[in-house]
Structure 1
Amino acid sequence: MTRLSEQTLGQISQPRPEYDRRRLRPGILHFGVGNFFRAHQAAYLDRLMNMGLAHDFAIIGAGVMSGDARMRDTLAVQDHLYTLVEQSAGASRARVLGPVIDYITPGDHVRVIASLADPAIRIVALTITEGGYFIDAATGHFDPTHPAIAADAANPDMPQTVFGLIVAGLRARRAAGHAPFTVMCCDNIPHNGDVTREAVVETARLSDPDFAEWITAEVAFPNGMVDRITPATSERERRLVREDFGIEDDAPVFCEDFIQWVLEDRFPAGRPALEKVGVEFVQDVTPWELMKIRILNGGHAVIAYPAGLLDIHFVHEAMEDAQIRAFLEKIERDEIIPAVPPVPGTDLGAYFAKVAERCANPKIGDTVRRLCLDGSNRQPKFIVPTIAHRLERDQPVEGLALESALWCRYCAGISDSGAVIAPNDPNWDRLIIQAQAARNDPAAWLAMAEIYGATGRDPRFAQPFARWLAMLWNKGTRATLDAYIRG
């Protein structure tokens, strides 16, 4: 057994960095050093560095949440090295990654701002989760009245949020005469670059409107589509790394072997040559983004809630369930895929087949509960727009109405077996009240305007929703799925 560190790298038999990490120089500051970032963006960069390229684009990590300290401390002990385990259905392959060279102590905002001001940093990247952008649920836009943002506006020189820090870093660069960095959002949000631009610009506007206009004119925020299934790390994954690969690693990352990154090529300050390791650079990411959000993320929701109501633990187990698999295939074929515009060079049917294969991968250990998480944030992004798209064309939404009814039924807090469903949403307290009220009054659920908007008032959606919800309560998930599948 080898404890992972720079000193012990030579003792590890698995693939490891082929570059001299002592010669790496920082070029990227990344907020949110979680599993997805380490399995996705850092994995691409590691491959590029192994080709002898991008050694001046090493990564400095940063975080603003108290929970970030644990990851920072764990990685620091390992010299910021970690094991990535890529898993197909038939094999697991491990390699040690080394593009992260430092991680600023969470709370040390003075050092974060100093790093952002360093002209060597040309890209500032973010994976702060879909819920980290201070979006007003009612408007769908950035909420400048949020207390954390208001606090940054009152004290812009010592900000506490990611966006306040980015503004302070850009201000310091302009004052020093340095070109601005590019802000690259890697979160799973439609038009994520545009969302990030609004958050940064509107944060700046609260304390300095003229500087906000400068950011709008001078700073690039490319949109991107990212994709890789990356479950949370538990003791199970740490044990597997020890037993299967002989590495003592307190922060391994397990992921599927599939990976995709489509990115708009707008990096005025320069970027790594990521196209050499499979990143697709395009003029407009929208077609790929809609494909992924509707077919993959929407498909996850289709799988999640019937499986949650049936007490199924793992996603691959849900895919082994004949009813859930048939439900997914029918709703994708009949309603979701037809709502996706053409994507250059992509067969949408083949894309969905790959999605189904990925979800069925037993090695991943992805949980149904993770897919059910945060529906109040995900449904308005991944399901409701597809419903609205179809209603605009006067097309039926029977399957999507059933998906919404399943989510509502799940949020009532009890599965078909009578098992209690633990809170699984930041807004769980409200959702459980609305879901229980909807048992007798389905309109109570659809009245959540921040989720459904005008769609919830459309009888072409509201009527099948109410019918399916009544059937779920009266006959259960199995009988309801059967009714939909049989048409």
Structure 2
Amino acid sequence: PVVQADIDEGPAHARHAMSMVAALLLERFQNGAAPLAVVSMDNCSHNGEKLQASVMTVAKAWLEKGYVGQDFIDYLSDESKITFPWSMIDKITPRPHKIVEESLEKDGIEGMTPIVTSKNTFIAAFVNAERPQYLVVEDKFPNGRPALEKAGVYMTDRETVNKTERMKVTTCLNPLHTAMSVYGCMLGYDLICAEMKDEDIVALIKRLGYVEGLPVVVDPKILDPKAFIDEVIEQRLPNPFMPDMPQRIATDTSQKVGIRFGETIKSYIAEGRDLNTLVSIPLAIAGWLRYLLAIDDNGNAFEVSADPLKDDLQAKLAGIEFGKPETVTDQLDGILSNASIFGSDLTKTVLADKIKAYFKAEIAGAGAVRKTLHKAVNG
């Protein structure tokens, strides 16, 4: 509704972020039409493309309403004038945490208590983040740019930005995060760094990254995939001053599994690799489905993180009872066959039976998740 209102009322009343960007570009156009690179820092793939599509949608609607002329659209469409470079940003920065606040106060730094808004947004005088950080930007700046590479920014071409993004989200970081988050929630953890002291969870993600992911990783050349995983496992995830929570990572998992696991599965199929060799990927998917039952490994109820498909997925698991593996019949097929979730129909692969077997083992009773995880990663 807010975007529709911006379209109807025109540039002078822009209130949505994308409408504001379009209005600012119109102001620039009307005052000399100087070139500009509009760089998205959103943490999503093809971010420049998404930003461009959003701005152009608003601008073309204004053209239809008579608020702007075709010459403005031409300005936005001319890459010698306006560009929307892609970028890949990687720096985990969760909300301000009490651990960091207390650490600062012990050092005599006061007034660190965050302000929490009515929408549960945290604002603080400190940021708990991590030392490793990556920013890869498409070098498409029609009006010149600062020497960003001197500050460690990787300036490169669009294909390399895309490959770096794929390396991170399909192999070297995000799959590890998702796998450990669902198991962490079921095993009673509330900190990612604490999970890194759990030998079974560490074995799970090491196999996922090094053994199952690296053989089909997209290599961007500007970063070494194996060294990237080394840093994730040895420095980033164990960092106690970056107190991220598995409950946060588990949010919207249905929107993530297709990229974080599905792409590797598709690569295995495309290259003729044996899907039977996969352990961590089917274990991670089985763990996610087990997590959706909202019962931890001790048999206690817990709150599943927000997910747009949560209600639908949990409805499909109806009839499955904790402690009764025999109640698992064909409920999982309705989920595993959904190519919009996994990127392909997993019931047409050997992975479906493997996932079902892990799932059934994990609902056998209290301690079954731990037992199944331990056996699978040490088998």
TM-score for both structures, normalised by structure 2: 0.80
Aligned to 1:205: 60
The yes-or-no answer on 1:380 pairing with 2:272 is no
The yes-or-no answer on 1:482 pairing with 2:365 is no
Q: What are the superposed Cα offsets for residues 99-135 of structure 1, whole Å, 9 maximum, x if unpaired?
A: xxxxxxxxxxxxxxxxxxxxxxxxxxxxxxxxxxxxx
Q: What are the superposed Cα offsets for residues 430-468 of structure 1, whole Å, 9 maximum, x if unpaired?
A: 343344467541022235453224344533333322222
What is the CA distance between 1:355 and its match in structure 2? 0.7
Q: Give the 3-state SS of the residue equivalent to 1:288 in structure 2.
A: helix
Please, which of 219, 230, 238 is the counterpart of residue 360 of structure 1?
A: 238
Please, which of 219, 222, 244 is the counterpart of residue 107 of structure 2?
A: 244
Change (3 A) 1:203 1:418: farther
- Greater mean alpha carbon deviation, residues 300-309 or residues 151-160: 151-160
**Take 1:205 and 1:435, find their aligned partners in 2: how far apart are those partners?**
45
Please, which of 168, 176, 182 is the counterpart of residue 299 of structure 1?
A: 176
What is the CA distance between 1:326 and its match in structure 2? 0.7
Alignment map for 1:329-348 (pairs within 5 Å): 329-348=206-225
What letter is aligned with 1:289? E
- Superposed CA RMSD in Å reads 2.6
**Take 1:205 and 1:383, find their aligned partners in 2: how far apart are those partners?**
37
What is the CA distance between 1:253 and its match in structure 2? 0.6
Q: Give the 3-state SS of the residue equivalent to 1:226 in structure 2.
A: strand
What letter is aligned with 1:421? F
Greater than 6 Å deviation, 4+ residue runs: none
Aligned to 2:344: 454
The yes-or-no answer on 1:182 pairing with 2:46 is no
What letter is aligned with 2:265? I
Q: Which runs of 5+ in 1 are unaligned?
A: 1-146
Alignment map for 1:353-432 (pairs within 5 Å): 353-357=230-234, 358-395=236-273, 396=275, 397-427=278-308, 428-432=310-314
Alignment map for 1:224-263 (pairs within 5 Å): 224-249=87-112, 250=114, 251=124, 252-263=126-137
Contact 2:280 / 2:377 at 8 angstroms: preserved in 1? no
Aligned to 1:77: none
- Greater mean alpha carbon deviation, residues 376-385 or residues 404-413: 376-385
Change (3 A) 1:203 1:337: farther
Contact 1:241 / 1:248 at 8 angstroms: preserved in 2? no
**Take 2:23 and 2:14, find their aligned partners in 1: how far apart are those partners?**
8
What letter is aligned with 2:49? D
**Take 1:462 and 1:399, find their aligned partners in 2: how far apart are those partners?**
14
Q: What are the superposed Cα offsets for residues 359-391 of structure 1, whole Å, 9 maximum, x if unpaired?
A: 112232222212212213332333322222222
Aligned to 1:473: 363
Aligned to 2:155: 281
**Take 1:437 and 1:443, find their aligned partners in 2: how far apart are those partners?**
14
What letter is aligned with 2:213? I
**Take 2:316 and 2:287, find their aligned partners in 1: how far apart are those partners?**
14
Contact 2:205 / 2:280 at 8 angstroms: preserved in 1? no
**Take 1:364 and 1:350, find their aligned partners in 2: how far apart are those partners?**
20
Please, which of 197, 200, 213 is the counterpart of residue 320 of structure 1?
A: 197
Q: Give the 3-state SS of the residue equivalent to 1:418 in structure 2.
A: coil
**Take 1:236 and 1:485, find their aligned partners in 2: how far apart are those partners?**
32
Aligned to 1:48: none
Aligned to 2:78: 217
Q: Give the 3-state SS of the residue equivalent to 1:263 in structure 2.
A: strand
**Take 1:454 and 1:301, find their aligned partners in 2: how far apart are those partners?**
19
Q: Give the 3-state SS of the residue equivalent to 1:292 in structure 2.
A: helix
What is the CA distance between 1:315 and its match in structure 2? 0.9
Change (3 A) 1:165 1:484: same
What is the CA distance between 1:271 and its match in structure 2? 2.9
**Take 1:204 and 1:470, find their aligned partners in 2: how far apart are those partners?**
53
What is the CA distance between 1:233 and its match in structure 2? 0.8
What is the CA distance between 1:345 and its match in structure 2? 4.9
**Take 1:393 and 1:471, find their aligned partners in 2: how far apart are those partners?**
31
Change (3 A) 1:278 1:216: same
Aligned length: 341
Structure 1 or 2: larger strand share? 1
TM-score for both structures, normalised by structure 1: 0.64
The yes-or-no answer on 1:153 pairing with 2:7 is yes
Q: What are the superposed Cα offsets for residues 5-24 of structure 1, whole Å, 9 maximum, x if unpaired?
A: xxxxxxxxxxxxxxxxxxxx
What letter is aligned with 1:387? I
Contact 1:201 / 1:213 at 8 angstroms: preserved in 2? no
What is the CA distance between 1:265 and its match in structure 2? 1.2
Between the two proteins, what is the percent identity of the paired residues? 27
The yes-or-no answer on 1:290 pairing with 2:166 is yes
